[in-house]
Each structure stands twice: as structure tokens, then as C-alpha cells.
Structure 1
């Protein structure tokens, strides 16, 4: 979402200040960070109730400070966020602003969480714990008035004047607003084409995905900026079932199989969404889905799919949600955009063929003029460890230090062009095609000076890494029909291995490629061992676990049909199936 001033200027014609008859709210106390009582132990959970609506979501109460994922704040409560320099964030919600530096953000399993107790308190949200469930409540209050601008080429602005702050949940083109509308107000919203409905304290309206929203305080308002079709009072056409998209229907006649059903592993019920095809018969090509502007940053799975014109897409490998950098193998048309780490599982393939599956490392060394060899520990990676790492222009047009203690050398055509002492990398280093930036971390001191020749030697530990396209994840679940799950061998913690969560899997039964998502039915989801056993039960011979949890997603014909924990979380990369006869030219990287 754009920053507040930019968004407010998108659609002129209606003031954001309410008309005089509306009562002004009482003044709100300035927002302050909550003090942390001493001696309290951290408590966490995976269940969240928002005004009685329950969902799977992570939360943490750490010494009296409540941490919630950003996806929950934005998608389930209606908080707006904007990014600032240095990785800091600003959260805005009904006139309250909370600024958070990079060190006030933490990873909560696979999500970025921030401390929000003071923000919830300032807006009036009551927080309670019931066992392992966190309950958030903000009573629904009457909707005061509805104001609109005149429809224009750019669309229409709708302002909902509220009698108090309200929770706002979004998803699948619908907003749920914690407010009570009268019959006349429902009719007014209906005339605007928003298809309103009032039920159990929630006002639901249908809004286009392209619309923007923001909340304002003193007094309280919810502003909806709608594109032209919805802003002209024209009822929006409901999104058809993606399986009925003419392109997918035609491909299903050629052998593409789409299935959605309930499966069982042990006592757990699991919702299985699967896409199956023989890539040698069905005219769809499997492609990595990556950002075209470098390796730092996140996108929605839908955006990644549209960028490559993929009809079908699932989320891909791991990444760090805080610094938005990749944590695993990504290779596209022979170029390592991000190298493998920790000997984790990976899938490698050539267009039109079934993928190969194995654990994967890159074995790389740098040899200097004294024939001394230095091990390169990572390639174009956000995974930080002591030693040498190398970066190329596939990482992006500029390298910015990931840690505070880095030195390095820039190599061009096999010769050191420039040396950077500690701290000298801080402004960043431009990277051109053919450049090789060697970065030393953890106190490692490299001796090379300008003009010294260096030779890079590189090989993959398995045939998977020799394929032109590679995507890493982990752990490897199945290989040649056997369960080969070994989390410790791939650097995964025992806690990660034991937890239940939504899952994303890529695999093969020896004849067909499978893209699969798994979600628990009245449970958090399968463990990794349950996932491996379920995949073998489904008939797969090879299977690789990809990023899961809130990252789990499936897009069919531009419809985000699977959202791991109910929210379309941002992801770093994915896997897409692109029609062979409609391939767009892959954007060139800077």
C-alpha cells in the first residue's frame, strides 16, 4: 500500500474530513510501548480468534509483550504498513502510528512478527488468552454515514464514517468490517456495486483486488479507493471457478489433472490440492518464478505468476522474511540466482522432462597466484556464515552488506580490480555482468590485492545441480520410492521437524509431475514425517518439501485458491507452469 499522502491523493473529489454533524471522538492517549513485567515466561500459540472468527495464526507473548505476524495485522485487522530506510517499518491504524526499527522485528517460524500490544491497546482491542488460543475483540459499532465522490476515469472514493475504530479483514475480493449498517446504508452500498451483507457484527462488501484502503482517526473513517468498474455502481462479475477457465479446460483435455479432496494420515484429515501432468505430453513448461529486479524483496505469488504468464503456480523455497533474501537454491537457464545451502534437498529439471531430486551442495574454491585454495561457502545467498561468499550480477545491480563485518574484493575477467577493507562495502558495490564479488565474513581476512589473478572452480555435488533449472527447499521427503526424511542432515531443527503446518510439495510418480499443497482440517497441518508418508500413500516416488506455513499457496488462472494460513502472504519465489505456445520473453536481469 502506498504511503498515506500518496494514497489520499489518488482519487480527488471528496474530502477525507467528515461533515460537521458527525461527533468527534474523545482524545486518544499517545501511543507508548508497553513495559515488560519481570519474570514472565514466553507463551506462544497457533490459534487466533478475531471477534469470534477463528483461524490458524502464530502469536507470541514474550515477557508481557505481544508479537503478531505482519500478515495478520494487515490482512485480518486492517493495519497499514510502510517501509522506511534501514529495514524499519511504520504501522498506521485509525490515526495511531507505531514506528519499529529493524531490530524490533523478529522471525516467528516463517513469518515476520512485531510487538503490537501498545497499538492494540490504543485502538481499543481487548486481548485475552484461552489456553493456546489468542482472542482479540473490538466491539462492532454503528456505521455513521457513507460518502462518495463522483465516478471518474480513475475510479471512485467511498468513505465509511465510523462511530469507533473497526477491525477490517480482507481476502478473495471481500472486506469484513466490524461495523453495523442500517437497511438504508446496505442499499446505498448495494447501489455502489459492493454487494453488502450484514451478519453477526460483520459488514461484508465485495471490492476489486485493485482497490486500496486506509483507516483514519479523529474522527474514525475507513476509506476505500475503488477502480472504475466498481466505482460506477456496476455490479462486479463474480470470479468464476478457476478450474473452468477456458485455458485450463483445454489443458485438462490434454492430460492436465486438477484435484481437491480430503485425505487422511493417521488421525489427521488433510485438504489436498494437487496439480498433475506429464510435461512430455501437456504443453506446459515448468519454470522458476523469481523477481526480475534482483534477489532482495518479496512479491505476491499472483504477481510472480503474472510476470512469467504462468497459468498455475505454487510457492517455492525458503527465504528470510526480515531481510527478504533467499535461503536456498535457485537456478534459471544455467545461472545460479541463489546457491544451495546446508546440503538441503532440491529439484532440478530440463524443459519438457520430469525433475530429478536429491540433496545438493555447490563445491567451490578460489585459487590464487600462490596456488592457495579458499573454500567458497555460499553463492548469491542470504544465508550468512563465517568464510567466503560470492555474489554476481544475478544477485542484483548492487550488493549491499548483509552483516556489519565484511570485507572483500571485486574480480573482473579473473583479476582483482578493487579491494574493500572492513566498512568499505557499506555504501554498496555495483555489479556488472561478469563481475565476481568475494565477501569475507566472521573475521576472515583475505590477502589479495589489486591486479592479482584468481581462479574459480565450481561443481555440483549431484546431477540435480547440473540441470539448467533448480529449486531448493527441504527436507527431501521421498527418493526412488523410499522415505529419506532426515532433517538434521539438512540443518533443520527438531522443533521444525515436529511441528504441524500447511505444506507445499513438488514431486513425481515417475510418469507425472506433481505440485501439491496440504492444509490441516481442524488441525495445524501435517508434520514432515506425516507429509512424507502421505506423499508415498498418494503414489509419489520422489518428493521435496518446499517453504510452508503462511507461504503455502496455489494460484490457478490468476486466482489465489490456496492460502496456507488464510492470508495471501508475500513470498520470495515460486514454481510456475507456463503455456509453451504463449511463452513471454523472460525479462533480462540488470
Structure 2
């Protein structure tokens, strides 16, 4: 049903009252003074949706704002280039405006009255909800221009109205608030994408190019009616991108070309900027790059690893859900994980606590709240000493889904229980610093064992002889070392790999970090975290080259060099690649973004 379809699509809140006066408020970073209400519950033409909104007062004026990214991604308002975080130029049909902007953690809200004052769109707050009613609008005509040098779908509307674009690999859908003025099909093709499913459940990397195939049925579009909306399905030719923009008087243009995407440079806050740009490499290949750049040394921003549930290391979620639920301003997907059992495969350290340990000497990003960073390959080794016998166990893994013969340790960060991951495990239960029990588990997946709140489990795989001299009541002591040693001083880490840059030199060596040569050569969507010589951290995502698939790791390293990076780490790529800002995924359509296990989140935390 379209109701649930749209309620999934519009995931946050919005607020505005068109009858109130227009003024010129002065905005400050995270100025909560005068805030009356915030929310996410919204009704668009009587259908419940979610959009971040806020109402505030200054003097005798009342203002209502919508999250800027939601305004663009869910209502079709184009955000234009801006170097002033306190105002945002926009374009929507024949309206070009500079809208006042106000940051109140974690969103940047735009006052939309100037945008809508000459329309018949009615918007008002009622209690904890925003009510949006658009006048009955009609889609008068849809036609295409399908020539070698120009591929375009033109949609003529009766009046300006809200619209949203959703895109998969070879199909896009434009969802328009209005009914068609002509006969169309009543339901969609079962093979089409669900344009309103932005939960991140799909895992379409968007990397596969269809070679020389032509658009389905030789047409660039088909039209579908669904209740009070019109869905225009766009066939995207091989090697092309889709861009939809509104124009005067009441027209939508869907442009299809290898370079349809538009460059963007927006100063989102005093120390956070968003850029979309083309980068051309020395080999002649050009890539479209999305990037967030933030400075943690001179701002109130903090960086943290994020996971779906801090009470367990088991599970995945859409990055958008994780970031919103934890109040992040911005985020990027993080390290590798097993998509089948949803277990981590790399370092996650949060406030000195190893939620998951590094594996295979892979690269990690380490940092502290003073804004100091280091990207390095990392090994962690623990020595567990039996004080009664002098016997020692050496463990390379803590709370890890990387299953190997030998010793691993699991703490309450893993969850309240551990279920065996392999056959023939010997599990030593430690409470406080003493052995409470020793259990043999023959079959993987059987006999869940409670992890003591003040202790841990030692799991010995395929080597039962190692546990012979470890018995009930004996006292244990743990020491740990990292290589390099100074990495132990950083309270926060997130690992992935391989490392790409050190001191502006490409240091890519995938095999040294346990990656296959095929992984090294693969062309795919890429995400990475990088540092520059100005103290900035950069979140970077690249999905496709112009007319082809995404970059190889070597090409990705070269892209990061051109962006000004000095040090860089590759993150989990493919369908995991995604960047979040202000309530929305900004580098790809959410229907193609997979669920992830962890990420990096930027938070507003004023420093004392």
C-alpha cells in the first residue's frame, strides 16, 4: 500500500506555518534559544511520514524549519552551493531563494516560508505533528527525447508540487504528489524497484554495468498511478546517471547522461562541509565523488564508532537508523563484517573498551578527543597468565567473528551470552579474575553460555590441550600489547583496510593485510576515511566512474590524493558504501544501501 510505502520513504520531520509573518532572524550554531517544539511526525496529504522539523520563536515572530537534506531528498528542493552555514540558496521550480538556516543538534533546519508563500501548499503544526496539504495537482504530459546526444524525460505539471527521486542500478522512479491527466497502468512491474523502501535492506551495489543493452522496450519511461501520486519509472541506459530537476513554469526534467550528476559545495556548519565533485585521474578516468570534511581540533564535533546496539556486537542495521537513533550529525559506514552471521571482522574500540579486536594486521583509524589521529596497521595480542601454575594462553582476538584455531576472549561487549562459533570448543568461564567453570562444547551453535558481567570467557578452538592446566578457582592475569605500541594510547579506533595513504604516499598492500589479489583489483563502490594537513577528517564515497564501474583500490588512493588527503584508510565498500548527513543518505539512493554492522559518527558535543 502507498501509505506504508510513503511512511518508509519519508523518514523524519518538518515544520512550517504559512500564515505567520516573515522576518530576518539571526542564527547561531546550535542555538536552542526560543525553540518551541521539534519532531519527526508529519502528515503529507493525510499520509503519515517522517521528516525532522522544528518550531522556534524570536521576539514576536514564529519560525518553522525543515531539515535541509530531507527538504532536498524527500520534497524535491535543490540545495545550491553555499559558503555561509547560516543561509542556504535553493531552487524549486521557478523559485530561487536564500533560506535562513539554523543548526540545532543534530539537524540544520531551513525556514521554508519564502519558498512556499506564493503557493497554495498549506503547512501547519498541530500538537506534535506537522500537517502538509498540497492542492490537487495533475501530471499533464510525459514524453521523452531519446537521441544519441540527448536523453531526457520531460514531465509537464499543472502546478508546482513536491516530488522525490529513488534510483537503483538501471531504473529510477520519480514520485510526484499529483495524479496523471491521462490513462496509465494501475500497478507496477514486479521487477521494478520499490522507490519508497529506504530501509537499506537491499544490497545492490550499483556497480554492474549492462554493457551494450538498450532501455527496456526501447522507451525511456513508463507511468504508473498509485492512489494520489504519479510514479514515472525511468529506464537508465548503460553507463548513464540520472538527475531530476524542476524548472519554470511547472516542469520536471529527467536528464540521462554519463555526467548527469551536478557538483555541489555546501558549508553545512562552521566546521563541516559537503562536497560532490568530479575527479579526473592521470589515466584519463573521471569519477564522481561525495565527501564530508570536518575539523575536530577547533570545533565542538566529536568522532565515535557506532554500532546498532551497544549491548551486543551481533547485528546489523541501516546506517541511517544507527546515526539517527544515536543523534549523529553525520556518519559513514565502517569496517568489515560477516553478512551471514552479522559478526564483526575488525577493530572497534570505544572509550578504551575493545568492542572488537583487530585482525590480520589490517589498517585502523585511531583518535582521541583532542583531534589527534593516526592511521596504521595494527596487531593486538593478549597474554593470559595462570598465577597458580605459570601457564600462559596467547590470544589475538577479542569479541571477534573471525574464527581461527587457538584462543579468543569474549567480554560483555559481545553480549550477555556467547554461542559457540565452531565445533569442539573449550570454554573457560572467568568471573572477576578467577576461573568459575570449564565447559566443552562439541557442536557449533549449541549451548549458549552466559558471559559474567564482571568477567569474560576464554574460548579455545581445536586445541583442547591448551586448557589442561586451567581449572576452577585459579587466578588469572591479562596483559596486552599493540604493534605499533603507541596505538594503545588512543581510546577510539575503527578498523577496515587496506591502508591507502601515509604522508601523501600510496602504501597500498592488500596482501599484507590478508586481502586477496582479486579484492585488490576489483572495481566497485568505495568508501574511505582520510586526513589532511589542515587537521580535517574526510568521509569519502565513490560509486562509479563516468560511463563505467567504481574505482579499484589503486584508483581510490589516487582520488584521495587529489582531494588533498595525506593519510587514508579504505572502509567496507560495495553495497555498504554510504554517507549520512542531517537525517539522510547523501551519496546514493537509500534503496541500494545495505545494512551495516558499524560506522563512524560525528556528534555535536560542546567542550567545557
Classify the TM-score, shorter chain: 0.5 to 0.7
Q: Indicate the residue corresponding to 2:602 in structure 1.
A: 577
Pick aligned residue for 1:516 from 507, 525, 540: 540
SS at match of 1:439: strand
Query: Matched residues in 2 for 1:174 and 1:199: separation?
Result: 18
Partner of 1:194: 229
- Contact 2:264 / 2:277 at 8 angstroms: preserved in 1? no
Per-residue deviation, 1:375: 1.0
What is the alpha-carbon distance in structure 2 between the residues aligned to residue 363 and residue 199 of structure 1? 54
For the pair 1:346 / 2:393, whether they are aligned, the reply is no
In the aligned structure 2, how far is the partner of 1:537 from the partner of 1:388? Answer: 43
Do the aligned partners of 2:524 and 2:551 also contact (CA within 8 Å) in 1?
Answer: yes
Match of 2:307 in 1: 290
**Per-residue CA distance 1:374-401 (angstroms, 9 max, x = gap):** 2102110000111000000001111111
- The 1:488–1:161 alpha-carbon spacing in structure 2 relative to 1, beyond 3 Å, is same
Asked if residue 481 in structure 1 is aligned to residue 516 in structure 2, the reply is no
Aligned to 2:296: 279
Contact 1:401/1:426 (8 A) holds in 2: yes
Give the one of 550, 553, 560 matched to 1:535: 560
CA–CA separation in structure 1 for the residues paired with 2:268 and 2:274: 12
- TM-score normalised according to structure 2 size: 0.57
1:308 paired residue among 310, 326, 333: 326
Contact 1:502 1:565 in 2 (8 A): no
Q: Deviations over 1:554-588 (max 9, x none)?
A: 111111122499711110000111112499xxxxx
Does the 8 Å CA contact 1:555/1:561 hold for their aligned counterparts? Answer: yes
Of 237, 242, 264, which aligns to 2:280?
264
Bigger fraction of residues in helix = 1
Q: 1:378 to 1:559 in 2, by over 3 A?
A: same
* Number of the residue aligned with 1:142: none
Any gaps of 5 or more consecutive residues in structure 2?
A: 1-168, 171-178, 180-184, 200-215, 218-222, 237-262
Pair 1:405 & 2:424 matched = yes
The partner residue of 1:439 within 455, 459, 467 is: 459
Q: Secondary structure at the match of 1:356?
A: strand
Instruction: Give matches, 1:65-464, under 5 Å.
Output: 166-171=190-195, 189=226, 192-197=227-232, 251=269, 254-265=270-281, 266-292=283-309, 293-368=311-386, 369-423=388-442, 426-445=446-465, 446-447=467-468, 448-462=470-484, 463-464=486-487
**How far apart, CA to CA, are the structure 2 residues paired with 1:403 and 1:281?**
48
Distance 1:412 1:173, change over 3 A: closer
Asked if the contact 2:426–2:441 (Cα under 8 Å) also holds between the matched residues in 1, the reply is yes
1:342-370 residue CA offsets vs partner (Å, 9 max, x unmatched): 11100111124042111111121111122
Secondary structure of 1:464's aligned partner: helix
1:394 is paired with a residue whose SS is coil
Summarize deviations over 1:155-183 as a string: whole Å, max 9, x none: xxxxx986x972230346689xx99xxxx
Q: 1:560 to 1:250 in 2, by over 3 A?
A: closer
Alpha-carbon distance in structure 1 between the residues aligned to 2:194 and 2:531: 35
Other structure's SS at 1:169 match: coil
TM-score by length of 1: 0.59
The 3 A distance-change label for structure 1 pair 172 and 508 is farther
Q: Is the 8 A contact 1:416 1:452 kept in 2?
A: yes
Q: Is the 8 A contact 2:420 2:441 kept in 1?
A: no
Question: Residues 318 and 594 of structure 2 are in contact (CA less than 8 Å); yes or no, is this contact kept in structure 1?
Answer: yes
Gaps of 5+ in 1: 1-135, 138-145, 147-159, 180-184, 202-242, 584-590
Instruction: Tell me the secondary structure at the aligned position of residue 550 of structure 2.
Output: coil
CA shift digits 1:239-277 (9 cap, x unpaired): xxxx999xx8661xx132211011122232211111112
Question: What secondary structure, in the 3-state scheme, does the structure 2 residue paired with 1:347 have?
Answer: strand
**How far apart, CA to CA, are the structure 2 residues paired with 1:405 and 1:267?**
54
Q: Distance in 1 between matches of 2:427 and 2:396?
A: 14
Q: Tell me the SS of whatever aligns to 1:270.
A: strand
* SS class of match (2:413): helix
Cα distance in 2 between the residues matched to 1:541 and 1:174: 34
| Structure richer in strand, relative to its length | 2
Distance 2:233 2:293 in 1: 40
Per-residue deviation at 1:431? 1.8
Partners of 1:380 and 1:390 within 8 A in 2: yes
- 1:432 and 1:380 mapped to 2: Cα distance? 14
SS of 1:402's equivalent?
Answer: coil
Q: Is the 8 A contact 1:505 1:515 kept in 2?
A: yes
Maintained 8 Å contact 1:314/1:554: yes
User: Any idea what SS the aligned residue of 1:555 has?
Assistant: strand
Instruction: Measure, in 2, the Cα distance between the counterparts of 1:471 and 1:566.
Output: 26
Rounded to whole Å, the distance in 2 between the matches of 1:582 and 1:524 is 43
SS, match of residue 196 in structure 1: strand
Deviation at 1:407, TM superposition (A): 1.4
Contact 1:311 1:556 survives alignment (8 Å): yes
Contact 1:386-1:444 at 8 Å conserved across structures: no
